[in-house]
Structure 1
Amino acid sequence: MKKVTLHVEGMSCQHCVNSIEGALKLIGVEGKVDLTTNTVEVSFDEEKIKMDAIKEAIEEQGYEVV
């Protein structure tokens, strides 16, 4: 399992946390959102999913991965 911390802009509340964590779960990625640092820590299997798909799942919820 690979762990990566992504900086995500646009998050401000628990709804944001639920939205991102839920979208990641749907694609088989474990994600933990930290609103105080505007980060999302993701754990995933590089052989099963690519980083581009993770970023896309977050951005489809209306947030920007920087």
Structure 2
Amino acid sequence: MGGGVVKAEMFGQLTSGLESAWNKLKGEEVLTKENIVERMRDIRRALLEADVSLPVVRRFVQSVSDQAI
């Protein structure tokens, strides 16, 4: 399998994971700290499954969480 195919597959998985987290968050009647934390966990998982480096994931999740909560 070529490298481009693997990258495209990882990008597709990342897109799917982020869309899933976003759709769950949009479905909430009220945004609470708890449901934001749950969705950030989903986003973290999607980023890690897409092979984004752990330090980058941690900084991203922390930055978004700090702004959202």
Which is higher, the Rg of structure 1 or of structure 2? 2
After TM superposition, the score normalised by the length of structure 1 is 0.37
After TM superposition, the score normalised by the length of structure 2 is 0.36
Greater relative CO (CA pairs within 8 A, separation 6+)? 1
Normalized per residue, the structure richer in strand is 1
